[in-house]
Amino acid sequence: MALDVFAGDFVGKVVVENDDLYSYLKKTEGFDKVRYKSHMKAVIAGGQPMVLRTAKIEKRGIYIEGKDIPENTFGVVRQFKDVDDIVSKGCETFIRYYFLGEELESIKASAKSCAEIVNNAKEPLNYKRELLDTSKRNSIISKLFEWQIPARIEDISNDLVRVKYEIKGHL
């Protein structure tokens, strides 16, 4: 998921896997699963940044680090002009370009919703473009989250995988 956070001098957006965020809040705040879900729904709905105590951005500027934060857990979201250019064309173009591998010149807008496009795929699809570094991957995951499209990183291949659209939400 993508969240706005305060972490030391850093104020911005990070991406974090749901189970990693739960583990962090269980350890630092003593949350059980019910309290975690309730808290995160309030954070997401309220639009307020979440405070990561005793945390700061690491030297490379790619992750947040600190006490009780496992390495490479909270990935910093940066802006990239090429990603923002695709985002400005809408969710359909974004999905068709990055996950269906279509070329921009051939993408014609349809009347389909983003949910329809994602769910029409026979199976979850991998990212289809240039090799992603961590920062750009974080940016793409953040955009998917904004459109309520869950994504995950495949453990073995480290590929970005887009999963089926889920109406019931992220948590």
Phi, psi of 168 (to 5 degrees): -70, -10
Domain boundaries, the chain: 2-76, 81-162
pTM, to two decimals: 0.85
Confidence class for position 167, pLDDT limits 50, 70, 90: very low
Beta-carbon contacts of 78 under 8 Å, excluding residues fewer than 6 positions away, are 61, 135, 136, 138, 139
Would you say 87 and 109 are in contact if contact means Cβ atoms under 8 Å apart? no
Q: In whole angstroms, give the CA distance from residue 16 to residue 170.
A: 12
The predicted-structure confidence for 91-146, as pLDDT tens digits, reads as follows 999 998 998 889 999 998 787 888 888 888 777 788 888 878 889 999 999 999 88
The predicted-structure confidence for 60-78, as pLDDT tens digits, reads as follows 999 999 988 989 999 999 9
Examine the pLDDT at 3 and tell me if it is beyond 60: yes
Q: In whole angstroms, give the CA distance from residue 8 to residue 11.
A: 8
Pairing of strands 10-15, 2-7: antiparallel
Q: In whole angstroms, what separates CA 16 from the centre of its chain?
A: 7
